[in-house]
Structure 1
Amino acid sequence: MIAALALAAALAAAPAPTSPGPRIVIASDSTAANYTADRYPQMGWGMVLKCSLDSGVQVVNLARGGRSTKTFIEEGLWDQLVAQLQPGDTVLIQFGHNDADTKKIERHTDPNGVYDVNLRRFVADVRKAKATPVLVTPIARWMWENGEPKDAHGPYAATIHRVAQDLKVPLVDLDGDMLTALKARGPLASQRLYLQYQPYDHVARYPDGISDDTHINEQGARLGAALVATRLAGLKLPISRRVHPASVAGQPRLGGPTCP
């Protein structure tokens, strides 16, 4: 059983083989990453982005949990990604959650220092490979203050906007769009998008309950993917005509990353 789970995890994390069709490559953290079935209901938005794409578009999800721009570089993950880029690829770059972490200091970056430098490096490397970089602000946390969703990524999101403007990089404002979606749903309904469960809600995975304002469940992942796709479709990139965003109004619960 352990060997089977290890194999499944390896397959989920492995890059897809070279394909002549259009590809979307994701560089990110746990909020976009792939997860095996035993981790359900936790899912990353990268797992269901395919549901908003033509069937011929391949998603290569290289997101890894716990990574910041700094550790993604230090662990060699960025070099591995660049090595397999193909001309014409679209690369979605979303970091910030772990760059803002001051408890696990090895992840932390200054939003106006190393974080800025790293984002500019990512853009330059992708362009050198004749691929298209797209900067993505980190998906909003489930945090509320005075009846309003609270922005948890201010300086990091601001840096992404600045770098995108400076370098003329397409931008997906997932943070801003998710904050808008949370406000529209309100605190109670939007809570159902995250790993927020009482002990009786999800006995199999969280017998003691869980209160996680960062990581998203299946519905959160589907909403996040639909928001990303909506922005991609409007960017007038070569990939944009292959994007057909799923509805952001309501997300089905299918028990895994299958498409409706």
Structure 2
Amino acid sequence: MPSIPSILSLLGLATTALSAPNAYPKRAQTVYMAGDSTMAKASGATTGWGVYLPYSLSLPVVNKAIGGRSARSFTVEGRFDEIIKLVQPNDIVIIEFGHNDGGSLTPTDNGRTDCPGAGSETCTSTYNGQTVTVLTYPAYLINAGKALVAKGAKVIVSSPTPNNPWESGTFTYSPSRFTTYSKSAAQQIGSSAMFVDHGQYTANIFKTMGKAKTDALFPSDHTHTSPAGADVVNKAFVKALLCGGGGFLKGFVKNATEGVEGVCV
């Protein structure tokens, strides 16, 4: 028969084991961002809108965007794999590409251009002296999205932001094929994914601002915004999100719909 001290020791261990979960705080959902330079943090005259998203959400935000990347190169470099390893159930991943995905695979493959097409088409190319198989833009997003959902994450596929729509002297904005592809990818990922038309909402705000004010937000070229411009582009994303009811971020957006510039479309 066990001695009384031994029984007390066992009871103490049991009590510790039962109370252990309460010793650790619950982990907040985390928002991850996957994109190019228009989303990524930069220094100097320009920066990406992902820098400002943490100010709009009550959740922690981890910005994994990096300049010069496309859906293809982000995949090939293992950057989607890194996020897939990090995510836990109910985390949210925002994916936004398109600025570096166009172009041609011939005569020179730059490692970023996707195979033309809206579905499962593939292209064979030569990159860095190696024969490679290149997928379409939607395929890269769908593959990453489904892998993230399999880990229990939610996915927001966002359309690419526009270049300066006042560049020609008059306002011009037409959604690129990557907006259509992004929307289609979100649908094909399934119910754990949603689409946000960030490009349209950004263009609408720039139109309201007018040429002079918009031009001032693009200090270096027609693609990359100043910090003030990045803040505007972030507000456009938040507006699109709020106008759609908040989606997976419902309840975590600090702003009210009417408190963000722009109108719902």
What per-residue deviation string (whole Å, max 9, x for no partner) do you get for residues 137-171 of structure 1? 011110444722233x5111111122233434311
Alignment of 1:1-260 (within 5 A): 20-35=27-42, 39-54=43-58, 57-102=59-104, 105-109=110-114, 110-112=116-118, 113=121, 114-144=136-166, 145=168, 147-151=170-174, 154-166=176-188, 167-168=190-191, 169-194=193-218, 196=219, 210=220, 212-233=221-242, 234-245=244-255, 248-249=260-261
| Worse overlay, 101-110 or 130-139 | 101-110
Give me the whole-angstrom Cα distance separating, in 2, the residues matched to 1:229 and 1:182: 15
Q: Give the total of aligned pairs.
A: 211
Give me the whole-angstrom Cα distance separating, in 1, the residues matched to 2:147 and 2:88: 12
Give me the whole-angstrom Cα distance separating, in 1, the residues matched to 2:153 and 2:245: 15
Q: CA deviation at 1:85?
A: 0.7
Cα RMSD of the aligned pairs, angstroms, is 2.2
CA 1:42–1:108: 2 relative to 1, 3 Å:
same
TM-score with structure 1 length normalisation? 0.74
Give me the whole-angstrom Cα distance separating, in 2, the residues matched to 1:216 and 1:150: 17
CA 1:20–1:178: 2 relative to 1, 3 Å:
same
SS at match of 1:138: coil
- The answer to whether the 8 A contact 2:206-2:214 is kept is yes
- The answer to whether the 8 A contact 2:139-2:185 is kept is no
Give me the whole-angstrom Cα distance separating, in 1, the residues matched to 2:154 and 2:255: 20
Q: Percent identity?
A: 27
SS at match of 1:133: strand
- Larger RCO of the pair (alpha carbons < 8 Å, separation 6+): 1
Give me the whole-angstrom Cα distance separating, in 2, the residues matched to 1:29 and 1:87: 25
Give me the whole-angstrom Cα distance separating, in 2, the residues matched to 1:182 and 1:127: 34
Give me the whole-angstrom Cα distance separating, in 2, the residues matched to 1:51 and 1:42: 18
Q: CA deviation at 1:76?
A: 1.1
Letter in 1 for 2:28: G
SS at match of 2:138: helix
- The answer to whether the 8 A contact 1:49-1:225 is kept is yes
- The answer to whether the 8 A contact 2:142-2:186 is kept is no
Give me the whole-angstrom Cα distance separating, in 2, the residues matched to 1:238 and 1:158: 21
Give me the whole-angstrom Cα distance separating, in 1, the residues matched to 2:60 and 2:229: 22
- The answer to whether the 8 A contact 1:33-1:65 is kept is yes
CA 1:62–1:170: 2 relative to 1, 3 Å:
same
Unpaired runs of at least 5, structure 2: 1-25, 122-135
- The answer to whether the 8 A contact 1:42-1:217 is kept is yes
Greater C-alpha Rg:
2
